[in-house]
Structure 1
Amino acid sequence: MTHRQVMEALSGLLLGLFVAVLSSTVVSNALPHILTDLHGGQSAYTWVITATLLTLTASTPIWGKLSDLASKKLLLQIALAIYIASSALAGLSQNTGELIACRALQGIGAGGVTALAQICLAAMVPPRERGRYSGYFGAVFALATIGGPLIGGVIVDTSWLGWRWCFYVGIPFALAAILVVQRTLKLPVVRRTVRIDYLGALAITGAVSLLMIWITLAGKNYAWLSWQTAAMVGGGLLLGALAVVIERRAAEPIIPPDLFRYRTVALAALASVLVGVGMYGATTFLSQYFQLARAKSPTMAGLMTLPMILGLALASTVAGRLITRYGKWKAYLVCGTLLLAIGFGLLGTARADTDYGLLSVYMAITGIGLGLTMQNLVLAVQNTVPRNELGAASSVVTFFRTMGGAMGVSALGALMTNKVGHYLAENLAAAHIPAGRAVAGGGIPDLHKLPAQVVPLVTDAFGHGVGMVFLCAAPFALLAFVTVLFIRETALKTDQQG
C-alpha cells in the first residue's frame, strides 16, 4: 500500500480508536455528578470504570483470535455497532446497576475496536514503517483522553444537555467510523473454518472477574483474611489454572500458550500488566482529585490534566518517527517505564493544596512515560511473531494491559475508599464535627451542598487519599522498568513476511 492508501485506511481506524477511548474518558469528569444523580457511592464509581475494563479485557483475545480467522474489516464494524447500541442504552440508565451493565456491554465493543485497529495496522504496514503510524495511534489516544474529560465536563456543566449526553455523544463518531472503514479499509480475507475456544474464554473471564470482585470488596464488605477471600482467590486461581489446561489442548486457543515461547512476548505481557495498573489509575483518579480535592468544575478538571495528555501525545508521536528512522525501540521502553515510575512517585506527594505548577510537571513526566511505553510494547511483540499470529499476539498485549488496569483500578479504588474514610474521620474528629454531617453513607460528596466548615476537611481527605493511590502505583511502574530491561532488542522487519 502507498502512504496515501495507508493514511486513508488509517483515518477510519483512528476514528474508531477515538470512539473507543472516548467511551472511557468522557465519563471520568462527569461521574461524580452521574452518581450523585443515581445515588451511587465510591464502590459504584469504581465499578462504572472497572465493568468496562473487565469486559474489554475478557473480549480482547477473542476479537484477536477472530481476526486471524475472518474479515478484520467486518469484525471492526461489528465492534463499532456494539458500541453504538450499548452507548444508547447507557444513556437511558435509571440506576447504577443498569449503568454498570451497559458499561460492561460497551467494553465488549471498545475491546474489539482497540484490538482490531492495532491488528489492521499490523496487516497493512511492515514493522520498520509501523513506528510512525503507531505514533498517530498514540496521538489520537491522547486527543481522546484530552477531549473526553473536556467534552464530558462541558456536557455536565451545560444544563440543557445533562450527563446522559456523555454516552450519546460518541454515537455519531462511531457511525462515521463504520462508513469510513467500509470505504477505505481493503484487506485480504483469509477465512478458515475452525471452532472458537469459548470454554477457554469463559474460564479466563471467570478467573479475572473473581479476582477483581475480591479486590473491590475486600476490606470493606469482609476482612482481607476471611472465608470469602479464600473462596474468591482460590476460585480465581483454580479457574486460571483450568484456563491454561484448556488453552493447551484447544485446537485454536484464545490465548495460544505457544506465543509465550517468545521471550519478548512473555516479558511484554508482564510489563503490560504493570503499566496497565498505573495507566488506568492515572486517568481514573486524577479527575476525582481535581473535582473533590480542589473543588473544580468537571470542565476545569479536564483542562487541568492537559500537561499529562500533551506529554503523552508528544512523546508518542516523536518516538514513533524516531523508531521508523533509526529502527531502534528498546531505549524508549526503558526510558518510558522509568519516567512513569518517577511521575507516579512525584504525584504521590500531591495534596489538596499542592502548587499546580508542580503538579503540571509531575503530570507531564507521567504522560511522557506513558507515551513512550504503550504503543512500543505492542510494536515489540508484533515484530517478534509470524504474520499468521499477529492478531492473537497483538491482543495479548492489550489483554494483559487492560487486565492490569481493571485489577489496578479495583484495588486502588478500594485503597482510596479506605484512605479517604480514614483521613476524613481524623479531620472531623480533630474539628469536633459529627461524621454524619460530612458524607452520609460513604457516597460521592457534593461540595456545594456541604457545610462551609466541612468542605476543607473533605477536600484535604480526598487530596491525601489520591496521593496515596499514586504512591502505591509507583512500585508497579518500577517493576515494569526492571521487566523491559530484560527484553532483547531485535531489528525491526522491513516486510510483512515471517
Structure 2
Amino acid sequence: MSLAEAPDIPTIERPDPATLRLALAAIGATLLFASLGQTIVSTAMPVMVADLGGMDHITWVITAYLLASTIGAPVAGKLSDLYGRKAVLQGGILIFVVGAVICGTAGSMGTVIAGRVVQGLGGGGLIVTCMTTVGDLMPPRERGKAQGYLGAAFGVSTVIGPLMGGAIVQSIGWHWVFFVNLPVGVLAFVVLNRALPTPVERSDKPVDYLGALLLAALLGSVVLVPQVAGTYGWSGLPTVGLILGLILALSGFVMTEKRAQEPILPLSLFSNNTFLVVNAVGFLVGMGMFGTITFLPLFLQMVKGVTPTASGLFLVPMMGGLILSSTVAGRIMSSTGRYKLMPTLSTGLLALAMLAMSRLDADSALWVIGAVMVLVGLGLGPVFAVGVAAIQNAVPHSMMGVGTASTNMFRLIGGSVGTAVFGAMFSAGLMRNLADALPGDVSGGIGALGAEVVNALPAETQARVLDGFSDALHPIFWAAAAAALLACIASMLLREEPFADG
C-alpha cells in the first residue's frame, strides 16, 4: 500500500455553508495577519538598521524570522494533527503578538532580532495551520480553488506589508510597523473561536519532543552555515564546527524519527514523489522570492532614490501577477483536477524575470522595473496554489498537518538560505566595488551608507557608489534565476495524482 493509499480518517465533520464561509474568512484573516508580519519590515529595514545598527545587520531582521518560522512550521503542523487546528491557530496568534510587542518596544538591534524569533515561531505555525485547516473543511477537488485564494491572500500581504511599512516609517516611526496589524490578530482569534470546532477527543499519543529539538537544531544549522561562512570563511573553525553540528543533528534526527511512536516529521513522507518534488521546487522558489523582496526595496531606495513608501509600491505589480496566476491556477485545478504543467511553466517564467532583474541599473526606467515585477508575480502564484493542494491530495489525513507544513518549511529554508547567501554576496560585492570610492570623512564607512549619506556625496563619487550598489546586486538576481531554472527542471519530475471529487 502506498503512502497516498494509507487509511484516511477525518478528524472533524465539514461544516454547513454559512459556518464554512465564516471559517474561511477567519482563516484568510489569520493568514494575512501572519504573512504581514513577515513582509512589513522590508521597506523599514534601511531606516531601522541605520537607527539601531548598520548595513551589515540588514539580513538578520529577515533571517531571524525565517529561521524561527522554518522551525515552528513542522512542529505546529504535527501538533495540529494531534490536538486539532483550532488550539494551534489560537496559540500561534498569541505567540506572534508577544513577538510583535518585543520588536515594537525594542531599543536595540539584538532585541528586535529576539522579537523576530518569537514572531517567527508563531507566524510559521499560523501559515501552515491555516492551509491545513482548508484541507479539513473542503473535499479534495475543491481545495485547489481555496488554496488559490489563500495564495492570493499571501500575495496581497507581500505587497501591502512593504507598502504599509514604508508609509509607517515615514509618518510615525519604524517601531509601529510591529503594532499595526495586531487588531487583525485579535479579530481572527475571536472569529476562529466561533467558526472552528473544538475536537471532541484529544490524542493520547506522545509528542516527539526530542525529534522536534533535533529538527530545530538541524534547520537552524542549515540556515546559519552560510551566515557564519560569510564571516569566518568555509574553513574557519566556527563554520567547521557548525557543519559538524549539522551532521550530528541530522544523524540524531533520522535515528529518533525511526523509533518515535508519532514522529514530528515522518520519514515515510520522503518516499512520496509529490512530497519530494513539490518541496524541492518550493525550496528553490523561496530563494528567488525572498531575494527579490529583501533586495529590491534596497535597490530602489539607494540607486533610484525613491522613498520607502514608493519602493513598497513597486511590489504592487508583483502582487497583481501573483494574485492573478494563483487564482487562475486554483480554478484550473478545481475544474480539471490536473496541475502538473503549471509549476513547470510558472518557474520557467520566474527564471526569465530574474534574468531581467539582473539587468537593472541606475539608468533603468521605473516602468521597466514594474513590468519585471509583474512577471515575477506570475511566476510565483501557481507554485503556491499547486504545492499545498497537491501534497494534501497525496498524503493521508493523519499526516495532512505536517505534510502541509513541509511546503512552508522548505520554502522558508530556501528563503533563509537564499537571504543569507545573497546577503553575503551583496556585502562582499559592496566591499569590493566601493573600497576606494568613499571619501575618508564618511563616518562608519560602507556600513553607515544610507540614502542621505549617498545624496550628500559629490556628483562623481555618488555615481560611482550607485554603480557599485547596482553591480553588487546583479549576482544576486543571477543566482535567483539559476534557482528558478532548477525549480523548473525539478517540477518536470512530478507524478500527477488527479484530485478526487469527494
Using the size of structure 2 for normalisation, the TM-score is 0.93
1:272 aligns with 2:276: no
Q: Distance in 1 between matches of 2:443 and 2:348?
A: 38
1:116 aligns with 2:126: no
The Cα RMSD (Å) is 1.6
Say which is worse superposed, 133-142 or 181-190, in terms of deviation. Answer: 181-190
Counterpart position of 2:5: none
Verify the 8 A CA contact 1:439 1:445 in the aligned structure 2.
no
Counterpart position of 1:78: 91
Counterpart position of 1:386: 396
Q: Distance in 1 between matches of 2:491 and 2:31?
A: 26
Q: Which amino acid aligns with 1:325?
A: S
Counterpart position of 2:475: 468
Q: Cα deviations across residues 456-487 of structure 1 (Å, max 9, x unaligned)?
A: 33322222222221111111111111111011
Moved over 6 A (4+): none
Verify the 8 A CA contact 1:352 1:464 in the aligned structure 2.
no
Q: Which amino acid aligns with 1:268?
A: V
1:29-68 aligned within 5 A? 29-42=43-56, 44-68=57-81
Counterpart position of 2:36: 22
Q: Distance in 1 between matches of 2:371 and 2:27?
A: 32
Say which is worse superposed, 349-358 or 383-392, in terms of deviation. Answer: 349-358
Counterpart position of 1:405: 415
Q: Distance in 2 between matches of 1:470 and 1:315?
A: 22
User: Could you say if the C-alpha distance between residues 164 and 231 of structure 1 is closer, same or farther in structure 2, counting changes exceeding 3 Å?
Assistant: same
Counterpart position of 1:212: 223
Structure 2: gaps of 5 or more residues: 1-14
Say which is worse superposed, 204-213 or 316-325, in terms of deviation. Answer: 204-213
Q: Distance in 2 between matches of 1:423 and 1:63?
A: 44
Counterpart position of 2:205: 194
Q: Distance in 1 between matches of 2:338 and 2:313?
A: 34
1:6 aligns with 2:17: no
2:489 to 478, 482, 489: 482
Counterpart position of 2:362: 352
Q: Cα deviations across residues 85-112 of structure 1 (Å, max 9, x unaligned)?
A: 1111110111110100000000011011
Q: Distance in 2 between matches of 1:146 and 1:316?
A: 15
Verify the 8 A CA contact 1:447 1:455 in the aligned structure 2.
no
Counterpart position of 2:237: 227
Say which is worse superposed, 264-273 or 79-88, in terms of deviation. Answer: 264-273
Count matched residues: 485
> SS in structure 1 opposite 2:202?
coil
User: Could you say if the C-alpha distance between residues 263 and 439 of structure 1 is closer, same or farther in structure 2, counting changes exceeding 3 Å?
Assistant: farther
> SS in structure 1 opposite 2:174?
coil
Q: Percent identity?
A: 35
1:423-438 aligned within 5 A? 423-425=433-435, 428=437, 434=439, 436-438=440-442
Say which is worse superposed, 236-245 or 313-322, in terms of deviation. Answer: 236-245
Cα displacement (A) at 1:444:
4.9
Q: Cα deviations across residues 347-381 of structure 1 (Å, max 9, x unaligned)?
A: 11222222223222221111111001122111111
Q: Cα deviations across residues 13-41 of structure 1 (Å, max 9, x unaligned)?
A: 11111111111211100111111111233
Q: Distance in 2 between matches of 1:383 and 1:407?
A: 28
> SS in structure 1 opposite 2:82?
coil
User: Could you say if the C-alpha distance between residues 336 and 156 of structure 1 is closer, same or farther in structure 2, counting changes exceeding 3 Å?
Assistant: same
1:165-176 aligned within 5 A? 165-176=176-187
Q: Distance in 2 between matches of 1:74 and 1:289?
A: 42
Counterpart position of 2:193: 182
1:336 to 346, 350, 356: 346
Q: Which amino acid aligns with 1:292?
A: M
Counterpart position of 2:113: 100
Verify the 8 A CA contact 1:35 1:444 in the aligned structure 2.
no
Structure 1: gaps of 5 or more residues: none
Q: Which amino acid aligns with 1:484?
A: S
Q: Distance in 2 between matches of 1:231 and 1:109?
A: 29
Counterpart position of 1:87: 100
1:156 aligns with 2:163: no
Say which is worse superposed, 115-124 or 437-446, in terms of deviation. Answer: 437-446
Verify the 8 A CA contact 2:301 2:451 in the aligned structure 1.
no
Q: Distance in 1 between matches of 2:474 and 2:340?
A: 31
> SS in structure 2 opposite 1:169?
coil
Q: Cα deviations across residues 415-474 of structure 1 (Å, max 9, x unaligned)?
A: 111112212226x1xxxx53x345725425222234332433332222222222111111
1:146 aligns with 2:159: yes
Q: Distance in 2 between matches of 1:447 and 1:345?
A: 26
Counterpart position of 2:432: 422
Verify the 8 A CA contact 1:119 1:394 in the aligned structure 2.
yes
Cα displacement (A) at 1:280:
1.4
Q: Which amino acid aligns with 2:211?
A: G
Q: Distance in 2 between matches of 1:321 and 1:305?
A: 24
Counterpart position of 1:456: 463
Using the size of structure 1 for normalisation, the TM-score is 0.94
> SS in structure 2 opposite 1:93?
coil
Q: Cα deviations across residues 105-140 of structure 1 (Å, max 9, x unaligned)?
A: 000110111011001001001121011111211221
Cα displacement (A) at 1:191:
2.0
